Amino acid sequence: MTRIVEDTRATGTDVAMERAVRGIRNAARLVALALGILAANAHAAPRDLTWVAGQTSGGWYVQAVGFANLVKARDPDLTIHAVPGAAYGNMTKLELGQADLAWSLPPVITAAYAGSAPYTAPQSDLRLVMTGLGFVDSQFCVAADSPIHSIRELFEQKMVARIGSPKPGGSDEWELRKIFEFYKSSYKELEARGGKLVFGSFGELAQQYVAGTIDAFILNNALPATDVEKASRARKMRILPMDDDLLTYLAQFGLVSTVIAKGSYPDVVNNDVDIRTAAMANTIMTSARLPDDVIHDFTKLLLDNLAAVRAIHPAFADFNPADAMKLANVPLHPGAARAFREAGLLH
């Protein structure tokens, strides 16, 4: 009898242990199934990227929206959201993980990657996706009835002027400071002789110019710039040319010499001639943290649809992908490199 009881107890223990083991196995299966479902959903779900561009009335924002629409039409699983930004701030947003793609310009990117002024530390996670997507041209606009006929006159003759500029953080204000530096002047000196510096958005500067509260403004934008068109229709305007020595000075920072071709702005009074100025190449940047496959797919989509890319904006009409993967001292993202390699453009 005692033996029977002992056997019964042993059998009960075995059953309990078997049930426990089955429970653990079932739980493991459920975990594995759940992980599999999550992985499948992560793979199937759209990949959302934030592209920090420029001011909403500027070329960069319009162009980023154009790219977003192209990507949506060709790859529904890859989604891009364009948001406003500015060249210098865009690099910091990439570094901090606040954006996935960004427009910027060679001198800004080089300074950010190296940690040169105005950056206080290297933005070492920056990676190139594609450059050479047209240019933004420097447009130093003054009222047609102003006595100022050149940038040199403005500084060497110490003329009084109320000058508008986009806020610090963009390429426009950075370039304006470089122009002041070249002519051995400063914002403080301008104000000391009765002039004034006004900061605002592209649209705000155009409105103030039309209202007569500023005499001139500078902006960097693809041609033709909507805000320059609007302002010149409402108030006669001249675009100031840059002299050779100023262009040579700006070249050391990655700017190139170009012209605003005659006929670009029907309501600009010197529109009958080419206007010499500086330009910077539009460049798409990303972060080293972005997965290779995501940047590969994005870059490949653009390379596979060159006609559609060139049709997004007039600035892209002459885009040549063979010139799009080199930027001094800044590495190409591995995903982009693979796409360029597959297209036979990189060896």
Q: Give the span between the Cα atoms of 114 and 119, in whole angstroms.
A: 9
pLDDT in tens, the chain (347 residues): 333 333 434 445 454 455 554 655 555 455 444 444 444 444 434 489 999 999 898 889 999 999 999 999 999 999 999 999 998 899 999 999 999 999 999 889 988 999 988 899 999 999 999 999 988 899 999 999 999 999 999 999 999 999 999 988 788 999 999 999 999 999 999 999 999 999 999 999 999 999 999 999 999 988 899 999 999 999 999 999 999 999 999 988 878 899 999 999 999 999 999 999 999 999 999 999 999 999 999 999 999 999 999 999 988 998 999 989 887 678 999 999 999 999 999 98
pLDDT, position 315: 87
pLDDT, position 33: 47
Query: In Å, how far are 21, 153, 215, 224, 318 from 133, measured between CA atoms?
Result: 62, 33, 32, 15, 8
Helix axes 106-114, 87-95, angle to 10 degrees: 40
DSSP secondary-structure letter at 168?
A: B
pLDDT, position 22: 60
pLDDT, position 310: 96
Residue-range domain boundaries for the chain: 48-135+282-342
Query: Rounded to two decimals, what is the model's pTM?
Result: 0.72
Token pair 């561009």 is found at 53
- Contact between residue 270 and residue 141 where contact means Cβ atoms under 8 Å apart: no
- Contact between residue 307 and residue 347 where contact means Cβ atoms under 8 Å apart: no
Percentages helix, strand, coil for the chain, rounded to the nearest 5?
A: 45, 20, 30
pLDDT, position 254: 78
Q: Give the span between the Cα atoms of 4 and 346, in whole angstroms.
A: 81
How many other C-beta atoms can be found within 10 angstroms of the C-beta atom of residue 8?
10
> Could you tell me the fold of the domain covering 48-135+282-342?
D-Maltodextrin-Binding Protein; domain 2 (3.40.190)
How many other C-beta atoms can be found within 10 angstroms of the C-beta atom of residue 244?
9
Query: Whose CA is closest to 142, among 131, 153, 156?
Result: 153
| Residues paired with residue 279 on neighbouring β-strands, in sequence order | 137, 256
Output the CA angle 35-39-43, nearest 5 degrees. 170
Q: Give the span between the Cα atoms of 234 and 265, in whole angstroms.
A: 13
Count Cβ atoms within 10 A of the Cβ of residue 44 and give its class: 0-12 exposed, 13-18 middle, 19 or more buried: exposed
How long, in residues, is the chain?
Answer: 347
